[in-house]
Chain A
Amino acid sequence: MIVYSQVLVWVLLVITSSVFGKSVYENVNAQCGYSSCPEVKEGFINVHLIPHTHDDVGWLKTVDQYYFGSRSKIQLAGVQYILDSVVQELKHDPNKRFIYVETAYFWKWWQRQPDHERHIVKRLVANGQLEFIGGGWSMHDEATTHYQSIVDQFTWGFRKLNDTFGQCGVPRVGWQIDPFGHSRETASIMARLGFDGLLLGRIDYMDKATRMIHKQMEMIWEASPNLGREADLFTGALFNTYSAPPGFCFDILCSDEPIIDDKHSPDYNADKRAEMFVKSLEALIKSYQSNNLAVTMGEDFQYQAAHINFKNMDSLIRAVNDRQVTHNSNVH
């Protein structure tokens, strides 16, 4: 009887989840995922600032050298500091968000965290502030990889995330910002992994120029002639590979001017900097169809001192949003 009742409960769960689809599930998880997204402002060009760090799983240094931050003369990069300092920033302000991509590094870091730190991170994942994007063991190459190994590295990364954070740890978007070209097979695999979309950094410069002119930077990639719609994947090419707009790299590795919003300071620049930023959006507005724009705020191994990035992004958001017309009914 016990077995039968368990089966019955299971059948009911399957039936209800198929009837109500995602909504049942998202009620259970309340916060993370699409339901945790910030509201966009109706009637405005909404600029989605996406703070991120691109952490190669081995390149000029080994994986461990990158993780621990050794051999700084080769490249000033330490992933453990990135994750440490990002968590410090997110935990004090629910508006701040960060995405993390390479599970090989995340897992190495997670295993070294004490319980109280793990609780904080679980909360940040559960409320959608820290989101896993991509989520494979690494951001795989698409030209020289075998599909079997691509699937293996994805399932290995997803397994760790799922075991640690449950459904809130499951990535929804593919993030191939650095591979040198993109294969249709990768898109097909990603569609069948359950991704809702894929964002790319590097496409051929002439292809990109043409797509910008025709507002075709974003598309539905029909990734498999055999599978049909099952392998359709929304795919977008990012505007500036994966970097911040020129002049707005606030990272400790950069030397762009900070936003100085003290009006009594002789170095006050907030108004001018806000104007520059808005001006840099003109090319994006021309190249994309939508009233929503994605602006990546990150680069290779950035956010080792995340406070510098977030402090200046806070000021930038304030300086730009303050320019909205205050007597307009659009403003809430």
Chain B
Amino acid sequence: VTHNSNVHLLYSTPSCYLKALNNEGLQWPTKQDDFFPYASDPHAFWTGYFTSRPTIKYYERLGNNFLQICKQLYALGNLGPDDRGNLN
């Protein structure tokens, strides 16, 4: 049975899709700004999470601060892989 279909399905991946697009040599529009704010529907703007759980947001920033300090001290201390401990 044939139906004149011009559709071809194949298993693929995002990079193989990009490769196929690239091979077509199309011209694309450009964008300079960001994709904020995100609204999924009218009156449904996902901007509450910019401030939700302020304490955990603060802890994360502080944790990042400590991490950078630890990395710098580790580098300055010339410690080898034996001192890295089990970071996994």
Smallest CB gap from B36: residue in A: A181
Whether the pair A50, B12 counts as a contact (CB closer than 8 A) is yes
Task: Say yes or no for B69: interface residue by CB 8 A criterion.
Answer: no
Whether the pair B49, A143 counts as a contact (CB closer than 8 A) is yes
- Distance, CA A219 to CA B33, complexed state (A): 12
Whether the pair A325, B13 counts as a contact (CB closer than 8 A) is no
Task: List, in ascending order, chain B residues with CB within 8 A of A172's CB.
Answer: 15, 18
Task: Say yes or no for B82: interface residue by CB 8 A criterion.
Answer: no
Q: Mark B19-44, 1 if CB is under 8 A from A, else 0.
A: 11101101011111111111111100
Whether the pair A322, B1 counts as a contact (CB closer than 8 A) is yes
- Distance, CA A197 to CA B10, complexed state (A): 20
In the complex, how many residues of chain B place their beta carbon closer than 8 angstroms to a beta carbon of chain A? 49
Task: List, in ascending order, chain A residues with CB within 8 A of B39's CB.
Answer: 204-206
Interface of A is mostly: mixed
In the complex, how many residues of chain A place their beta carbon closer than 8 angstroms to a beta carbon of chain B? 77
Tell me the smallest distance from the CB of B52 to a CB of chain A, in Å: 9
Task: List, in ascending order, chain B residues with CB within 8 A of A326's CB.
Answer: 2
Whether A290 touches B14, Cβ cut-off 8 Å, given contacts A181-B36, A323-B3, A324-B5, is: no
Select one of A47, A96, A182, A184 contacting B7, CB under 8 A.
A47
Whether the pair B46, A48 counts as a contact (CB closer than 8 A) is no
Whether the pair B29, A323 counts as a contact (CB closer than 8 A) is no
Select one of B31, B60, B64, B68 contacting A219, CB under 8 A.
B31
Whether the pair B1, A183 counts as a contact (CB closer than 8 A) is no
Within 107-157 of A, Cβ neighbours of B (below 8 Å) are at 107, 111, 128, 131, 133, 143-144, 146, 148-149, 152
A positions within 8 Å CB-CB of B: 33-34, 37-38, 40-41, 43-51, 95-97, 99, 107, 111, 128, 131, 133, 143-144, 146, 148-149, 152, 172-173, 175, 180-184, 196-197, 199-200, 202-207, 216, 218-222, 225, 234-235, 271, 275, 278, 281, 289-292, 294, 313, 316-317, 320-327
B positions within 8 Å CB-CB of A: 1-21, 23-24, 26, 28-42, 46, 49-50, 57, 60-61, 64, 67-68, 88
